[in-house]
Homo-oligomer: A and B are copies of this chain.
Amino acid sequence: MAKTRPTPHCYEFPRAALSVDIVVFALDGDNLKVMLIQRGLQPYAGQWALPGGFVRIHENLEQAARRELHEETGLHDIYLEQLYTFGELNRDPRERVVTVAYYALVNLEGHDVRPSTDARNAAWFSLDNLPKLAFDHHRIMKTAHERLRSKVRYQPIGFELLPQKFPLRKLQNLYEVILDRRLDKRNFRRKMLAMDILVELKQAERDVAHRAARLYRFDKNKYDRRTKTGFNFEI
Interface residue ranges, A against B (CB under 8 Å): 6, 8-18, 54-61, 82, 84-85, 87-89, 96, 98, 100
Contacts and interface: CB of A to CB of B under 8 A. Distances in A.
Q: By DSSP majority rule, is chain A's interface helix, strand, loop, or mixed?
A: loop
Contacts of A98: 18, 55, 61, 100
11 contacts: A8-B11, A8-B12, A9-B13, A9-B15, A13-B54, A14-B57, A16-B55, A18-B18, A58-B89, A60-B88, A61-B98
A9 B12 contact: yes
Contacts of A54: 13
A188 B14 CA distance: 52
Given A8-B10, A10-B10, A84-B82, A15 B89 contact: no
Contacts of A55: 16, 87, 98
Contacts of A85: 61, 82, 85, 100
A202 B2 CA distance: 71
A61 B18 CA distance: 13
Nearest to A8: B10
Nearest to A62: B87
A57 B96 contact: yes
Contacts of A96: 57
